[in-house]
Amino acid sequence: MNLREFCSNEERLSEKIAAKDLSLNVDQKVLGMPWHSREDQIVLRCRYRAKMKMTKRSISEQIASIYDPLGLLTPITLKGKQFLQELWKYEYDWDTPLYTEHQQKWENIVNDVDGFQMMLPRQVAGAHSACNLVLFADASCAGMATCAYLVSEHGSHLVTGKSKLPSLKDSPTVQKLELNALTMATRLSYSIHVALRHKVDIKNVLIMSDTEISLSWIKATKVEKLHGVLIKNRVAEIRRIVAEISTTVRFGYVKTSDNPADCGTRGVMKSELNGHMWWHGPSFISNDPETWHEESRLFTLPTEDCGEQVCLVAKTAEEPSVLLDWSRYNRLVSATRTMAYVLRFLHNISMRVREKLKERLQNTIPELCYMTSEPFITAVENRVALQVMVRHHQKTQYTSEQLKLLKQLNVREDENGF
């Protein structure tokens, strides 16, 4: 195999590569991301492919055509996702042309996004350098967003972003959406910490939100005293994730005007995104966290009684009653004949007891009415004896969980109770 077209961001290394093996194109792609090798910068582009027909399918294709695995273009791609979600309310088929008003709205979104380009440095921190990981979370009725910044002596740089739209089926309050956004940020902090912990020295993880209600929820000492299942589950998840991060994790308050995740919840035009706070975060995060504004009120999560409470129920399984000692039989015919004699005995007993007890026996074992006084066991008696054994086996060997599964198969009892 003739390996050639090598490319490097290190000029001294490129000089040692033979000219015939060196790539002349400085614009490359690394894992699908455009990369300018000479400047060592990642190139972000936002271009919607033109479509002749505006349908829900074509718009989905246009939105998916923007490759943004790190969520760096979250503020500018959000409006397209919101518009696609809006189309579901109108119950469009996939290939049905859009109404004129929707076509015009989509054209405006495309004009606000198409043609955007931004170059970001590929390297945001030196190997094994001391860094802080700062994340911001925000939410509105239109969406939830979070963004993460790696802060080192060389400045602060956007590492990744993420957005999510609220469900159309539910109508949660803004406070609950803010808590969901805070949960997203906590999950993202764990993923970034795991990915970078052997490459840089993360000293602090700081997660900021502009809602004091959500911060008070996660600060609460007693999780079980919080109202609402969703709130309890989210707070418990946040605390569980924080416990798995080896670095100290602190939460704090940030003003909406200083929250870069805010633009990820409402979307911005391409003209607004150039030079936006989204790329490097607010200026104060470059300082030591101990010198941040007093209103940040950084805190760690309480450790006392913050775990999940697990209730255990002990259940003693009852041993099923044994109808016959099966170890004494090697043939079904022999066991059936023995059961027939047992039924004959019970039938004879029932004829000599009080009427009330007789009815109870016959209701419990309806096959007793088939028993006779013949010198030998009849075919009918053998058949009903087998029925009694099968019914007893089904009642004692099948658990309630197994019976629930059988109901899904539309299994029903017949007239004999099988």
Find the angle CA(252)-CA(258)-CA(260) to the nearest 5 degrees: 95
Report the share of the chain in percent with pLDDT over 90.
Answer: 36
Supply the DSSP symbol for 53.
S
**Tens digits of residue pLDDT in 210-222:** 999 999 999 887 7
For residue 245, give the 3-state DSSP assignment: coil
Report in angstroms the alpha-carbon separations of 188 from 160, 183, 241, 256, 303: 9, 9, 10, 20, 22
Token couple for 128: 């094994």
CB hemisphere CA count around 226 (13 angstroms)? 23
Neighbours of 244 (CB within 10 A): 10
3-state secondary structure of 397: helix
Nearest CA-CA partner of 174 in 213, 207, 225, 147: 213
Average pLDDT, stretch 254-281?
Answer: 91
CA distance 251 to 235: 13
pLDDT exceeds cutoff 60 at 118: yes
Q: Who wins on pLDDT, 408 or 60? A: 60
User: Distance (Å, rounded) from C-alpha 370 to C-alpha 384?
Assistant: 8
Q: What is the mean pLDDT of residues 235-251?
A: 92
Provide the whole-model pTM. 0.69
Lowest mean pLDDT among 97-106, 229-238, 292-301, 370-379: 370-379
Q: CB under 8 Å to 238, separation ≥6 — which residues?
A: 182, 183, 186, 218, 301
pLDDT in tens, 20-54: 777 777 787 888 888 887 788 888 988 887 777 89
Instruction: Identify the pLDDT of residue 315.
Output: 56
Measured CA to CA, the distance from residue 397 to residue 163 in angstroms comes to: 51
- Residue 252 banded pLDDT, cuts 50, 70, 90: very high
